[in-house]
Structure formats: structure tokens, C-alpha cells
Structure 1
Amino acid sequence: MGLLTHERYCDEIIRLTEELRAALRGADLGATVPTCPDWTLRELAEHVGRAHRWAGEIVRTRSAEMVPDDKVPDNAPADDDPATLDAWLADGAAGAVAALREAGPDAEVWTWAWEQSTGFWARRMALETVVHLADAALTADVPYTVTPELAADTIDEWLQIVVFVQAHGDREAAELRGEERSLHLHATDVPDAEWLIEIGADGVTWRRAHAKADVAVRGSLTDLMLVLNRRLAPGSDRVEVLGDAALLDFWLARTAFG
């Protein structure tokens, strides 16, 4: 498992948004999202729709700099009607995907990260939707599933983000350095889905590997992804934590950016 194709990411943006829309239908849009307590379910949905439109506008215009929110067309639903929100979400995903497909993966555009390409935005928007779909499903009390490829890629990308923001001065991530310590993620339902995260004097490094670590987390691949993204508590009976549980808590507390 590794990076998916550009077309697959585009397909997933559409499919995952359809699942998000399905989770919202009939749900209390004023309910607080437990995993994002500053947001209601409606605000979570609007965040996803705005993210799709923002990335789509960057790609569509081949922008070499960040596009301000007020320059993004149709950046909010027209009214509070759930049907309007549903159509707005669908249109945002479709517009972003149309721009991404027209551009292909290799056009140079602004991003906030390590790669200045349209392919970055296809992956980022797909995986953004993976995580926020989990938020919505939890709030609406509906089932949540994700393919192994997407779950593994979400873990990979999140670890890339941690390394990137640490290198660029994030104060919380800066504390993930010093004494050598390690964390191991071990999926129990997917072969070879394992990660070794190492903290050392120079900061965080990671690789796909089976190795002994100071703390290990075992569970389904989806649940490992949810723990790493702070969507499932490490004390849940869905995962097993072996070794230095305080180190896992330390990691999660210092990777809460974004």
C-alpha cells in the first residue's frame, strides 16, 4: 500500500462526500461533534465543503500563492435548509474534482506543504474527507468504514505532516525530540500494515516496519488511523496499547495541530 493514483483520489473525493452527505441526512445538524467540539455537525460539513472549494480554486486558477477565503466562489451554503447543504456539498466536491482531473497530478500550484503540485491537493482533499467523514459518522451514530488503502495512506500522510510542521517550527511538535523513544502501530487485520515512529535528538522519523518499540498500539487498520488522528481514544476496547501508554498520550497531545 502506498500512494493512490490521481484518478483514484478524485474518485474517492466524490465517493466519500456522498457518504458524508448520507450521514448528514436526517441527523441533527446542530449537534456538537464530539471529536471536534468547537463545531456543530453543520459547521463540520461546511468546513469540508469550503476545503473542497478552496483547493479546487487553487487548482483551477493554477495559483502560485494562497487563495484568500473571500476569493473562493460560493464559499457558503445559500441558506440553512439541509437540502441546500446537501447540494452545496455535492457541487463543491464535483467542482474540485473537475479542476483536479483537468489539471492532472503534476501542475505546479501553491500548497502549504512539502509538494507544490495539483496531485498534493487531490490526495489532501480525499484524506481530509476520510477523517471528517469519521467525525460525522460518530456524531450521527451511523457506521463508518474506510478501505485499507485509504486508512494506510491517511496514516502515512499524517506522519508526513507531523515531520513537516516540526521542521517548520510548530511549538507543540518541537517537543517531539530529545531522548530516544519509539511507537509502533500494528494492524491486526491487514498484512504488513505496520509503522515505526521514532523520536530522537533531531525530531521525528518514521517508516513502515515491524519492530519492538516503547509503546505499541494494536488494532484494526481503521482504528489505528482513528487513534493517530485523535478520533478514537487509545483507551478504547477496540485497540490494545502495550508498553509506555504515557508516551502515546504525549505523542497525541503534541500532534493536535491542523
Structure 2
Amino acid sequence: MTSLSHDRHCAEIVAQTDLLRATIEGADLTVPVPSCPGWNVGQLLRHLGGGQRWAAKTVRSRAAEPVADQDFRDLAAYTHEDPAVLGPWLAEGAAALAEALREAGPDAALWTPVTGGTATFYARRFTHETALHRADATLALGADYVLDHEVAADALDEWMELGALPMHFEVHPRMRELLGPGRTVHLHATDVADAEWVLDLTGDTITWRRTHEKAAVALRGPLVELLLVTYKRRTPAEADVEILGDADLLAFWLDRVSFG
């Protein structure tokens, strides 16, 4: 269950893209992106903008099956991008996606790659796809990354929901190795009230809950730092966080999680 409204997600897709455009203005887009190995900033932005356009096409057509579109995963052709060209292109794609989502409404039925089957999936997913790829570009360019706390908390909720889907055990069999007795991970935001998550790996599946409780290992720090560590945009050593308890379990969990 998302904590942000459909309208808020639509607005954030545009807002996060605008913040990204401001970050890249006049920047060298050939700078490598450490969190996306093999890509530079320009390639990363082509991937993001292409994904937004693909999602807009999916939503507009109320697709009942995956929509074919230009592949923005093979980015060899985008090694020397110009921010003066990419900025407006990104804005156009974000606006088109937000418009398609608003016109569809949150409950419009269409194909989604995981359970859900409504436009809500794309509104939420591309809010956080945009916010996290903004982090990739911002950190690669050596700038400070700031994210609204409501958006960051919703991003962690979504990460927990999607990351706990049983389908991951089929796609990434190594994730089954996470399961075992006594294996619990607590994320505790120190700058936002009631922003705590417990990931429970003790059963046959991965489960999670929003709560404050003792766990085998706790990761404490500012909410956005927790988000960046969970998404593997920063290591715990790089982030402003504190580890309490079984640090090896935390490292094992971060090694095995694959979503995002």
C-alpha cells in the first residue's frame, strides 16, 4: 500500500526530473556512474528517459502485454551526450508519463511486470526510478543529494514490497540463501519519526513490517542514507550510518538482494 497519492506520484515524476535537469546543467556527462557500472551520466539519463517513455506508451495504450520499444539498456551510442539536449528531452518524457498516468487514473487495468495490474504501479515505480537515478547522477557528479522524506519513506516501502516478492527466488536463486533462523534486519531512521522497517528472513519467504523491535542487526542513520544503502548507491562505510549487531548479516543481505 503506497503512502503517497496517485497525483503526488505523478507530480514527483516531473519534480524529480526537474531536479535532475538542474543538476546536469553545464555538467560533463561523460563522467562514469559508479553505482551503474559501465555507464556514464549521459547514458544513465538516456536509460531513464527511455524508461519513462516506455512506461507512458504502456499506460496510454492500456497494454495487456509487454510493450516493445527502443531499448535503452544498450547505451553504446550515447557516450557523449549534451546536457542542453538531454535536459529538454528528459522534461518531455517525464511530462508525457505524468500526463498519461493522470489521464488513466490509479485504477486503470493494464499489464505490469509484477502483481498489481494497474497504473498505480507505474506511477509509484517511476517516481522512485527517477529519484534513485537522480541520486546516481548527483553522486557521480560530486553534488549533494537531497530527497523529500515522504518520498524517501515511500521508496523504502516499495523496495520492501517488491524485494519480498517470491518470484525473486526463481529469478535469483541465490536469494534463498538469505533465509535462516535468527536473521532479522532493522532499518531505523534517526531523523524522521516512525520511519523504521524490520526485514524478517526467518521463514520460508521474505517478510517485512514497519515497526520498532530488536533485530539481529540494526542499521541506524538519516532516512535518505538508509535508502541509498538499501539500494546499494552507497556502502555502509560510505554512508552516515551506524551498524549495531551482526554486521556480517547486514553485509550478506546487501550482497544477496537484487531488486533495484
Aligned to 1:179: 181
1:148 corresponds to: 149
Cα distance between partner residues in 1 of 2:71 and 2:140: 31
Specify the alignment match of 2:220 in structure 1: 218
Q: Secondary structure at the match of 1:216?
A: strand
CA contact (8 A) 1:35 1:231 kept: yes
Contact 2:136 2:233 in 1 (8 A): yes
TM value normalised by structure 2: 0.92
Report deviation, 1:210: 0.5
Is contact 2:162-2:259 (8 Å) kept?
no
Contact 1:2 / 1:149 at 8 angstroms: preserved in 2?
Answer: no
Give the gaps of 5 or more residues in structure 2.
none
Task: Structure 1: state its 5+ residue gaps.
Answer: none
Q: Distance in 1 between matches of 2:64 and 2:239?
A: 46
Alignment RMSD? 2.1
Aligned residues: 255
Give runs of aligned pairs for residues 116-127 of structure 1, distance below 5 A: 116-127=117-128
Q: What's the CA shift for 1:141?
A: 1.6
Structure 2 counterpart of 1:207? 209
- Which amino acid counterpart does residue 177 of structure 2 have in structure 1? E
Ranges of 4+ aligned residues in structure 1 off by more than 3 Å: none
Distance (Å, rounded) in 1 between the aligned partners of 2:143 and 2:239 = 19
Provide closer, same or farther for how the CA distance between residues 172 and 161 of structure 1 changes in structure 2, counting only shifts above 3 A. farther
Q: Is the 8 A contact 1:180 1:201 kept in 2?
A: no
1:151–1:237 CA distance, 2 compared to 1 (3 A): closer
Mapped partners of 1:65, 1:149: distance in 2: 32
Contact 1:2 1:152 in 2 (8 A): no
Question: What's the CA shift string for 1:17-69, capped at 9, x where partnerless?
Answer: 00111111122111110111221000111111011101110000000111112
With 95-104 and 176-185 compared, the bigger mean Cα shift is at 176-185
Asked whether the equivalents of residues 178 and 203 of structure 1 are also in contact (C-alpha less than 8 Å), the reply is no
Quick check: 62-71 or 18-27, which moved more?
Answer: 62-71
Residue in structure 2 matched with residue 50 of structure 1 by the alignment: 50
TM-score (normalizing by structure 1): 0.93
2:159–2:259 contact (8 Å) kept in structure 1 = no
Shift of 1:161: 1.4
CA–CA distance in 2 between the matches of 1:187 and 1:71? 37
Aligned pairs for 1:92-171 (under 5 A) are 92-164=93-165, 165-166=167-168, 168-171=170-173
Secondary structure class of the residue paired with 2:114? coil
Aligned to 1:88: 89
